Every structure is written in C-alpha cells, then in structure tokens.
Chains A and B, each alone.
Chain A
Amino acid sequence: MSDNAEKSTALYDEHVRLGARVIPFGGWKMPVQYAGIVQEHHAVRNAAGMFDISHMGQFIAEGSGAAAWLNRMLTNNVDKLEAGSGQYTLLLNDKGGIIDDLIIYRVGPERFFLVVNASRTEEDLAWLNRHRPAEVSLHNRSDQYGGVAIQGPKTEELFAKLLGAPGKLPARNQILDTEINGVPISIARTGYTGEDGVEVFFPAKQAATFWNHVLDVGKPLGLVPCGLGARDTLRLEMCYPLNGSDLSPEHNPIEAGLGFFVDLTKPDFVGKEVVARAKAEGPAQKLAPFRMEGKGPPPRPHYAVLKDGQRIGEVTSGTLSPSLNYGIGMAYLSPENAKIGSKIEIEIRGQKFPAQIEKKPLYKKT
C-alpha cells in the first residue's frame, strides 16, 4: 500500500503535535511512539497510558434474528451476553481458520456493536454480508467513531476525576454510555495490555476534544500518550495474539490457544466441524510462548525456531520485554515441542540462541 493510500485517524494532528513517530499500520498512519516505547510501556504498567485505537473498525448489527445470526458467524456464545456486556470472539472461515478476532457487545436485545481489527475491516464486512439474512442490517460505522484505550492501574482514579465521581466505571467486559466534557462516549472495561483499563468510543468529530481533556486530567496521575510500539510489547507480555502475526486463516482457534472463546456446545457455527476435530484429536500445532535464555538479541517475527539443529517453526511475534528485561516471543510448534519447559533455539543472523517454552502469560503482575 502506498503512502497516500493510508488513512489518518481523527487524532492524527494530535499525534503530530505531540511529536509522535508515525508508521503505516493496517492501512492507517498510526503513532508507533511518542517519548519512547520503553517509557510508555512502563507508564501503562505503573500508572496509565492512552492509545489511539480509532483505526479499529466498528460495526452495528441489528434486526430480528441478529443474535441467532451472529451466533452462527462467531465462535463465542452471544446468548451469554446481556444488554451492556461484551465478549472476545472469533470470526472463522469454512475451514475453521481465523479471519479476525474481535469484541462483540450487546447494546440492545437485537442490537450489537462489533469492534474489529483495522486491517480486517473490509474482509470481515464482505464475509459477514455474504452470510447475512435480509432481516438483519449490518453497518460499518468505522468512519464515524474515534476510539482510545486508556490502560493502567490509575484508570479508576482517572475516571473518578473525568466522571466527577468514583465507582462509575462499568465492570469487566461491560459497556456503558455516558458523557465526559460534553463528549458522548461509550466506555468498555476491556483492553489489550493485561492492566485494568477501558476502551472508549466517541464521535470522530470530537476525538481531539476528548483526547486533550483526558491528557490534561490524567497528567498529574502519570498518564502519557502511548503508541503501537508499547501496545505490542504490553500485549506480547500477556501472550495476547495479534491478528496478522499470531492469528491467520492458516490456523484454527485451538492451535492459537483460544479454545476458551469457542463454544462447541452451540448447535452450529462457521468452522465448527474443524475446530471440534482439532479439539478432540489435539491440534497439529500450538501457539507457544517462549523466553530467551541468557544474553542475546531480542527475537523478532519470522526468525527461525530450531530444535537439535532442525527448523521446527518460525517466530510469529517477538520483542524485548521491557517488564522482564529479556527477549520473549511466540511460535507455532508441534504439541511435543510446545510443552512448557521444552528447550528450543532461535536463529538470529546465522547464530543460534537458546530459548525455553513458558507458561502464559509471560508477565505476571506481582
């Protein structure tokens, strides 16, 4: 994709003003960092950080039969959602491969709000529309919404100030409509960092107003703007998969370690047969987290994974963990090689560096 084909979020001018380094990501010009990835990472683990997530796609599905239809399209069980709650779920193809991972919120009896990955927005829409019954409408509202993730242990304190009273945040995985500084917002208690936090959606036109107000109020608490770089190190410490790197149509949810978000007791859903078989027979491969042992360069995507000199896979995600101060990553490996404690090697510029399969999450809050 060429430079001029990339879209800017409603917060783009704020990023530039704050001195962010901007990179192309999923068809968007996004801030990768402001002050620095490590500093932003620690701010989220110790205080709070705010990320622009306006690039993510938002759909509204509604109409008679919307719940039943979405239950056939998605792996998790929509019937378990009461109005105002959400769940992490997966959109699969006929072969059980992962098209996208997303969060679905029930906002009315037959009305749903879906938040999808930026790079998959068009593909998701096309796939959903191909299977959509006439009674259910599906609207892409991505252009109308801006969004931020506010993450970190200071989130509650920050929102007590923003909302003028403590205890007004929704519970984990719940979504709530309210207003801050004259901006109508939906707040969801969700995130991608392993810290307490929220994801907030608002009209794109008021994005800058909201962003700057939160930065002002949050500054005394240690809130800083954070880019995609810290978002990636934070999520990888938690072993949260990234679509396009760790998740792809070549892998099913059982291989990706996401069986918890698949309800095989549902009568049917797209890809069920393949997932049920992978679950019953055991997956051919498993997405396994690993850590580097001893000193060495950080692992990065596409580096070869070896065992006894033989190539057994490749790194899907890898970085230096700012919290742990050693290299961490994930790779699809055979169940045997993916066992916790299994010794592997990562090939970096022609040299082999020892690593070991770990339990997830790689980072645990103490």
Chain B
Amino acid sequence: MNVPDDLLYTESHEWIKREGDKIRVGITDHAQAELTDVVFVELPKIDRQANAKEPIAVVESVKAASDIYAPVKGKVVDANKALESNPALINTDPFGEGWLFELQFENEADLKSLKDAAAYKAQIG
C-alpha cells in the first residue's frame, strides 16, 4: 500500500499535505482500497468552520457511506469539484486528483497531533 513519506495522516485514514497556512486533505490509498468503488462524494461547503475530528465530507461506495473528518480545526477554503462528476478519482489517484478539500488551519500547533508516514504505516500494518 502506498504511504507517501511527505504527508501527514490521521487515525481515520485521511492524508494531509501542508501548503503554507492551509492543508489539503484526502483519503489514503489504504482507505480507498477498503472502501472500493467510490460512487458518490459529498464535499464540504466553502467557508464552513470545522472542529478537529468533525465529519465534514462523505464518501460513498456501493455498499456504504463513510464520514470524512476535518484533521484539525479550521475553515474550508476549497473543495475538489472534479469529484462530483468523477468520484472514482479517489480510487485511481487518492493522493493526487482524488483530493477532497483544503482547510485553513487555526493553530499550527494542531498539526503536531497528526501521524507521520511511519506511524500511519504501523497503524495499517
């Protein structure tokens, strides 16, 4: 399973890429493989506030709907509209074209609570 070294991770299988004062968030290769065929994505509204671990998006496979959580407290500043017409991007390119949303984080210190690649690798075995 692909776990890029330059990203941060959550226990709930989101990946986080820091870009200045915001983070880009998606779900991991492991998560997309577990979910399989993603058929629908509900994206968060731009400008909405979110607390850490608050569900703000939904990824649906044929069989189930799964909540996606804000990794840290912040404000949603962008969402990947391409997923609305092509949700399968999450399966084909989870760390690239399949990104979900961007969050402007409130406290830089909050990022310290996230896992590094080694810790996430250990979690998924």
- A residues with CB within 8 A of B: 32-33, 36-39, 229, 233, 295-298, 300, 319-320, 322, 349
State which of A32, A33, A297 has its C-beta within 8 Å of the C-beta of B40: A297
State which of B58, B62, B84 has its C-beta within 8 Å of the C-beta of A319: B62
What residue in chain B is nearest A32 (Cβ atoms)?
Answer: B63
Given A229-B63, A295-B84, A297-B65, answer yes or no on A36-B39 (Cβ-Cβ < 8 Å).
no
A-B CB pair tally, cutoff 8 Å: 39
State which of B37, B58, B63 has its C-beta within 8 Å of the C-beta of A297: B58
A39 to B63 alpha-carbon distance, docked (Å): 13
State which of A32, A229, A320 has its C-beta within 8 Å of the C-beta of B39: A320
Q: Is A37 a contact of B37 with CB atoms below 8 Å?
A: yes
- Subset of 15 A-B contacts with CB under 8 Å: A36-B36, A37-B37, A37-B63, A39-B37, A295-B84, A297-B40, A297-B42, A297-B58, A298-B40, A298-B60, A298-B62, A319-B62, A320-B60, A349-B42, A349-B58
State which of B42, B60, B62 has its C-beta within 8 Å of the C-beta of A37: B62
Q: Is A322 a contact of B84 with CB atoms below 8 Å?
A: no
A228 to B40 alpha-carbon distance, docked (Å): 21
A93 to B4 alpha-carbon distance, docked (Å): 59
A229 to B65 alpha-carbon distance, docked (Å): 14
B interface residues, how many (CB within 8 angstroms): 12
Q: Is B58 a contact of A320 with CB atoms below 8 Å?
A: no
Q: Is A297 a contact of B60 with CB atoms below 8 Å?
A: yes
Chain B residues with CB under 8 Å of A297's CB are 40, 42, 58, 60, 65
Minimum CB–CB distance from B106 to chain A (whole Å) comes to: 26
State which of A32, A36, A296 has its C-beta within 8 Å of the C-beta of B37: A36
Chain B residues with CB under 8 Å of A233's CB are 62
State which of B42, B62, B84 has its C-beta within 8 Å of the C-beta of A320: B62
Interface residues of B in 19-64 (CB under 8 A from A): 36-37, 39-40, 42, 58, 60-63
Minimum CB–CB distance from A326 to chain B (whole Å) comes to: 10
Q: Is B36 a contact of A298 with CB atoms below 8 Å?
A: no
Given A37-B63, A298-B60, answer yes or no on A320-B40 (Cβ-Cβ < 8 Å).
yes
